[in-house]
Amino acid sequence: GAVVSQHPSRVICKSGTSVKIECRSLDFQATTMFWYRQFPKQSLMLMATSNEGSKATYEQGVEKDKFLINHASLTLSTLTVTSAHPEDSSFYICSARDEAVGETQYFGPGTRLLVL
C-alpha cells in the first residue's frame, strides 16, 4: 500500500514552545491530508482537513490559531502546535488520501508529543 511518513516520531518540549510535525506522502500525491489526535486508549479524533493550496478545514472545537496547518505541496502537510501546554500532550497522526485509488486513506506512524 501507499506510504505516509511523519517526523518527528516523538518530541518532548517545554510548556509555551511551538512544535512542528511533518506529514509526507512518499509514493503518491495527496491534495487532501488529515490530522488526527488520539488520547490513550481512545479512538482517533479528526482535528482538521488539510487542503493543498488552500486553508485547512477545522473540526468543531479545534482552535485554528493553536493548531496551524500548512499544506504547501502535494506531498507535505505540517501541523504546528503553538504555545503548547501539557494538555496538548497526545499522539498526533496524519493520513493522506490516494485519490488514484478512490477514497482510501493511508496513515502515518504517528508523533508522540509530550509537553512538560
Kindly list the residues in this chain that would bind other proteins in the complex (CB under 8 A). 1, 4, 6, 32, 34, 42-46, 49, 51, 57, 91, 93, 95, 97, 102-110, 112
Least distance (Å) between residue 86 CB and other proteins: 20
Choose between 43 and 86: whose C-beta lies nearer to other proteins.
43
CB closer to other proteins, 19 vs 97:
97
Can the peptide bond before residue 86 be classed as cis, meaning omega within 30 degrees of 0?
no
**Smallest distance from other proteins to CB 109, Å:** 5
Of 55, 51, 112, the closest CA to residue 81 belongs to 112
Q: Locate cell 485547512: which residue?
A: 56
Inter-residue contact 58 to 48 (CB < 8 Å) = yes
Closer to other proteins at the Cβ: 15 or 29?
29
CB of 85 to other proteins, least distance (A): 23
Instruction: List the Cα angle 19/24/29 in 5-degree steps.
Output: 145
Reported as type and span, the H/E element at residue 33 is strand 32-38
Nearest C-alpha neighbor of 23 from the set 1, 45, 52 = 52
Least distance CB 80 / other proteins (angstroms)? 19
